[in-house]
């Protein structure tokens, strides 16, 4: 379900910034009319997926590093920075995010899963091999550990304001499609 985008210029500007930085728009990137067809005068932003090559490039794109509140998701295809191992570079990139909302990982490697679960603390929720949507009861349903919803996450939840609580959900033996749609 989509709702009208009141900041159409902001959405189109974010997509244009992605393109100028070398990201490839895989889906969407335009406004649509009521019938779902591309329409420059439309009020709905088509759900948009952009592919960004490399962590260093991703760090320069505001649509990746800030909250846009548009139906826009960035898929960052990580490459190690210099001689730094890939996982170390990815953890540093994710840990540097000022918002600290949710993080998601898909991996079958137990060592990778353990390392991410123990080292990536910048987020209100970490989903491993599990749908990015959904919640981990009884933890907050929105917000995180950074600039979102107060100085340490959920302003409405005193427990989270006075501590650094991160929900971690680890699923096994499930495909991404099953995790999202089943």
Q: Give the span between the Cα atoms of 86 and 116, in whole angstroms.
A: 12
131: tokens are: 């749908």
Report helix, strand or coil for 167. strand
Can you give the pLDDT at residue 58? 93
Contact present, 72 and 64 (Cβ < 8 Å): no
pTM of the prediction?
Answer: 0.76
Quote the pLDDT of residue 13.
96
Torsion of CA 117, 78, 150, 134, to 10 degrees: -60
Residue 151 clears pLDDT 50, i.e. is over it: no
Domains parsed from the chain with CATH numbers: 1-79 (3.40.309.10), 97-182 (no CATH)
Residue 100 CB partners (closer than 8 Å, separation 6+)? 122, 123, 124, 144, 145, 146, 147, 148, 153
Distance CA 143, CA 157 (A): 10
**Kind of pairing between the strands at 48-53 and 72-77:** parallel
Lowest-confidence segment of 92-96, 104-108, 142-146, 174-178 by average pLDDT:
142-146
Q: What CA–CA distance (Å, rounded) separates 36 from 177?
A: 24
**20-58 pLDDT tens trace:** 999 999 999 999 998 889 999 999 999 999 999 998 899
């Amino acid at each position: 379900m989509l709702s009208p985008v009141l900041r159409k210029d902001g959405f189109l500007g974010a997509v244009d910034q992605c393109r100028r930085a070398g990201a490839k728009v895989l889906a969407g990137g335009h406004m649509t009319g009521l019938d779902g067809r591309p329409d420059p005068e439309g009020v709905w932003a088509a759900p948009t997926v952009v592919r960004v090559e490399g962590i260093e490039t991703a760090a320069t794109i505001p649509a990746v590093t800030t909250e846009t509140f548009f139906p826009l998701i960035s898929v960052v295809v990580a490459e190690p920075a210099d001689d730094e191992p890939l996982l170390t570079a990815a953890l540093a990139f994710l840990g540097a995010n000022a918002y600290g909302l949710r993080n998601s990982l898909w991996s079958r490697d137990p060592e990778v899963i353990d390392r991410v679960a123990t080292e990536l603390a910048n987020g209100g929720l970490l989903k491993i091999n599990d749908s990015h949507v959904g919640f981990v009861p009884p933890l907050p349903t929105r917000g995180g550990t950074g600039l979102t919803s107060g100085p340490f996450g959920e302003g409405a939840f005193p427990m989270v304001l006075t501590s650094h609580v991160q929900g971690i959900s680890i699923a096994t033996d499930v495909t991404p499609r099953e995790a999202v749609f089943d």
